[in-house]
A and B are shown apart, each in its own frame.
Chain A
Amino acid sequence: MKKVIFFILFTIVSIPTLSACWDTREVNDLAIAVALGIDKSEDKGYTVSVQILNPSEVASQTAGGGSGYDTPVTTYTSSGKILFEAIRKLTQQTPRKLYLAHLRIIVIGEEVAKEGIYNAIDFLSRDPELRTDFYIIVSKDSKAEDVLRILTNIEKLPANKLYESLEASSDAWAVTGKVNLNDLLNDIVSEGKQPVLTGIKIKGDPKIGTSPDNVQSIYPKAELVYDGMAAFRNNKLVGWLDEEESKGLNYVKGTVKSTLIVTDMNDGQVGIELLKSSAEIIPHFDVGSTPTIEVKITGEANIGEVNTNLDLLKDHVFSELEKKTNEKIKDNITSAIEKAQKEYKADIFGFGDKIHKEDPKKWEEIKTNWTEIFPTIQVEVKVDIKIRRTGTITNPFHNELSEE
């Protein structure tokens, strides 16, 4: 009896004392990485750049106090044959152990993207330390390394600025796409859908962007700007979509939360603010073996700006506006589809996926040569946007001015 009690007590005492908090890490012993850039290195391996934040500079209470300006982040770069090696090698430079759980954004260099992103994704999805809520973007016309070396205004963390402005531009302007690791993995493994990633561009001089001068001036000399979306085929970047095409793509994907459509009307322009939209992809299998796709966009919009003479109290004006809006959206979509079909041969819209869901048997037949079939399929686009309100005023001031 006593032996048993002794044994139990002994175990209870020894568990904490012998295991000794083996995986404890104090917060101030971590180098918190907020952004990761992946580039090709010269010897066919990878160059990894990591943006590590400097907590005392970022936290509001201590910023700007006394000791002058320190950069809120520091970017370290290292290379290795594989991604993980390069990351571990970074510890030679970083002051503390690298902590990747708080990554906000991953920038894939254009070169890497063109060669294929499988290798980069493998590490990111395998490492348990990483949360999967960061966004993945592709650097356009520059190295990822350079993108991570630009200091930004207002949002002190460049990684945060990338994160927030991607969200904002995707939600309010709909020309970018928020893609996190899970989305990307889904698109990559799916046979009927190809991934798209938003592109990031350095506007201005990258050299000046690295120094505090960049953020101490009222207009930054170097800026990070989102620009179009990169279309992938079989994990390789095949080409870029411009703003209008990106918007078209987002309409079809149903990821447009809100955006603005500018239409020409009576020698002027009218801005239509899209409030909500939903997309439906309907595959039809009637004729022959190649299916046709019907894309249906519905939604609601408000009038946001009128720079012309218009009598908004008239019914026919409204229906004309609606018609023009629909046409404009349709244009965007068809140009995006055309580019994907003709130039990139990449099913970035997920038509194949939709066919798979609607008719799995049919999909089994065509999936092996889907890449060849996709450019040939007929896509019919139907847009039906309803304009609901005119904002706080009804008729534009133009009307009264022209009367005088």
Chain B
Amino acid sequence: MPGRLVYRTIKNIFRTTSKDETASQSQQQEEKKLVSSLESNILEIKNSLGNSSDLVIRVIHIGAENNIKIGVLYTDGMINTAALQDLLDSLINKIKPSDIVPTDSTSLVSDIRKNAVTVGEVEEIKDFNTLITNILSGHAALLIENEPQAISVSIPGLEKRGVEEPQSATLIKGPRDGFTETLGTNTSLLRRRIRSSNLWLESKEIGRVTKTRVIIAYIKGLASEDIVKEVHHRLDKINIDAILETGNVEELIQDETYTPFPTIFSTERPDAVAGKLLEGRVAILVDGSPFVIVVPSLMVEFFQASEDYYQRADIATFLRFLRFFCFFIALLAPSLYIAVLTYHQEMLPTTLLVSIAAQREGIPFPAFFEALLMELTFEILREAGVRMPRAVGQAMSIVGALVLGQAAVQAGIVSNAMVIVVSMTAIANFCIPAINLAISIRLIRFVMMCLAAVFGLIGVMFGIVLLCIHLCTLRSFGVPYTSPFAPFILQDQKDTLFRFPLWSMFSRPRLINQNNVIREQNNPTSKPETRTGK
């Protein structure tokens, strides 16, 4: 309820601005038709782009007596130069004069279209808005003298980064390709993995100004129709000027804004996305972002790494357990330390208490403040480490490790035990494969520490109970966030805490996929038949 209150206030503050913007936007939306004069058409385009320097205009003469004037317009850097070369080549040289007979005005355009344009996807356009959008998205526009329509040839050739290993999720065993900023590359990476006609990609354009291309990918027949419909519905509801990254979309379509937990899974790994598509989930790809989001997402997914599926099941299970354990360390270690040291000293073995007491001898701060100080210091170090230019990274780690760690202990400002707790927490935090979950734990940790400082272990317990209640209220596209633990689904436990052998994963997650649960009918084990006793 307080959440709604905050939401309303925020909405009120920002309402006025958004209204103004929509008004100014709609003024531009008037339709303007092309005219027959080449000069004025070019002028009009130039004006509406504000004489932008990346607009290239070339006027060439073709035809039997070089009497047909054609203006070629494109955006510098947005088109494939080789294709442009081909296009100009065929317009000027390869066409026999007899091919183009300027008798009929309609046939002139179609003649050129049929005979002269050898590359790309071609369409005829009559209004300026579409034409300009096309020019800006990698088309070359052919404007012909005395013709009130243009030919738009799609020869996009964006500068793009190659497919590289994703920075955010590295692994030892498994594919090393990652999504890039280019939508076409990304969809091809998915197609390469799922060569099925059932992999459907549906395109959308979001953002009044940016007009960003967004693709909804799912496997027809596996993905629940309702969820696909819901994804469409939520994406259509977005009314915003700019989508620059998947994070923007994620924030606009998530079920619950006021939670530190990520309810939508995002990854840079095509293999992870392919795996999730095959479980019946829906992926959303956004042009210009190497991150792909997948819905609906469960909390357990944030503990799963792609590598789990590429190595032995027992080892993967062990690693899963380790990650869940780390989750609790990262969440609770400092708060437990505070609680035990300020309220429940009797819980410690005597020798441990003695050694901690000896370390704390002469420390000026209470345990809570000490913990807060170190945790904050570490958070600052980490934030600085991420934002900093790589060249100064080394200086940073020296300052961080030596000055803040060792010197603080030697100066008697913090105790050794505290440094151990903080570093253990930090390392445990890095064990969680999904960064967005790791960050949310960092946040909750401070709340837990405050509870521990005020109420001791009772406070920590209280915090955990509240956290559980909160997690149980969360939904991701209608699917309970904590499933398959709450509600408990026995069949889905095979891929949560444990990672069962692949041959035993014969069904897909039940809550996500109701219509096609069975993955494979028989469970082949690769043991020789004599040994299985058949």
Contact = CB atoms under 8 A, between A and B. Distances in A.
Contacts of B360: 26-28
Interface stretch (A99-107, A210-218, A267-275): A99-107
Contacts, number: 79
A28 B361 contact: yes
User: For this complex, into which size category does the number of interface residues on chain A fall?
Assistant: 20 to 34
Contacts of B359: 59
B1 A5 contact: yes
B362 A16 contact: no
Nearest to A72: B354
B358 A26 contact: no
Given A16-B450, A19-B454, A59-B358, A24 B345 contact: no
A264 to B, nearest CB: 44
A58 interface: yes
Contact of B358 (A9, A62, A129): A62
A98 to B, nearest CB: 13
Contacts of B532: none
B343 A55 contact: no
B311 interface: no
A136 to B, nearest CB: 17
Contact of B345 (A9, A27, A59, A62): A27
A21 interface: yes
Contacts of A23: 343
Given A21-B453, A21-B454, A101-B346, A27 B2 contact: no
Contacts of A237: none
A30 B341 CA distance: 11
A24 B366 contact: yes
Interface string A17-59: 0010101111110101010000000000000000001011111
Contacts of A16: 450, 454-455
Nearest to A99: B345
Interface in A366-403: none
Contact of B361 (A24, A25, A56, A131): A56
B5 interface: yes
B356 interface: yes
B342, B350, B355, B362: most-surrounded residue (chain A CB, <10 A): B350
B342 A24 contact: yes
A53 B362 contact: no
Nearest to A15: B454
Contacts of A25: 342-343, 345
Could you say which of A53, A57, A102 has the most chain B C-beta atoms within 10 Å of its C-beta? A102
Interface of B: 1-2, 5, 341-343, 345-346, 350, 353-363, 366-367, 450, 453-455
Given A5-B1, A5-B5, A34-B350, 4 more contacts: A2-B5, A24-B343, A61-B355, A102-B353
Interface of A: 1-2, 5, 8-9, 15-16, 19, 21, 23-28, 30, 32, 34, 53, 55-62, 99, 101-102, 104, 129, 131, 160
